[in-house]
Homo-oligomer: A and B are copies of this chain.
Amino acid sequence: MTALKETFWKRMGNVQAGLLAADGERPIPMTPQVDPEANAIWFITAAGTAADRASKSGGEASFHVADPKAGLYANVWGKVDEHTNEEKLDELWNAFAAAWFPHGRKDHAVRLVKFSPHEAEIWANDGSASFLYEVAKSNVSTHTPDAGDHGRVTF
């Protein structure tokens, strides 16, 4: 695993919410639960949401992070799949999700979506002025340096 990818997974663990675009709809706030071993980001959602609909056909989705506190900016492209594994849901069923569903873990509206990233552009920094200037400049130069705090990774 490259250093940038490691940094990505580590900081993603501190991201409370990003914007998930699925099923051709506009991005909406969703909480990622990272699972680097499975190369996955899990989302718990409700039946009928864009993420749920897209996951039924293994559709493409993108997750966007802009979290100065976590020091992470990223565009993550991947596909979403429906996941009916009860064991996985139990594992992810933490205080966070428990607060969501009024009928608890057995709420029929609970849907587990597995987002499998295939590519990401990552900026791992605190959003400082000099960093953002580097971002602007790197978008002008003919090649984007694929090392350090900014680059593209494949999964």
Chain A residues with a Cβ under 8 A of chain B:
15-19, 26-31, 45-50, 64-69, 73, 75, 95-97, 99-101, 121, 123, 127-130, 132-133, 135-137, 139-140
Q: Give the copy number.
A: 2
Decide yes or no: A66 and B18 within 8 Å by CB, A127-B29, A137-B46, A139-B49 being known contacts.
yes
Name the residue on B nearest A131 (C-beta): B29
A18 contacts across to B, CB distance below 8 A: 66
A50 contacts across to B, CB distance below 8 A: 139
Most buried by B among A19, A26, A66, A73: A66
The docked-state distance in angstroms from the alpha carbon of A26 to that of B50 is 21
B68 engages A69 (CB within 8 Å): yes
The docked-state distance in angstroms from the alpha carbon of A15 to that of B26 is 21
The docked-state distance in angstroms from the alpha carbon of A96 to that of B128 is 8
The docked-state distance in angstroms from the alpha carbon of A29 to that of B150 is 11
The docked-state distance in angstroms from the alpha carbon of A50 to that of B135 is 12
Q: What 10 pairs across the A-B complex have the smallest Cβ distances?
A: A100-B133, A48-B140, A99-B129, A16-B68, A29-B73, A17-B127, A46-B136, A16-B127, A69-B69, A66-B66
A139 engages B100 (CB within 8 Å): no
The docked-state distance in angstroms from the alpha carbon of A26 to that of B150 is 14
The docked-state distance in angstroms from the alpha carbon of A136 to that of B143 is 39
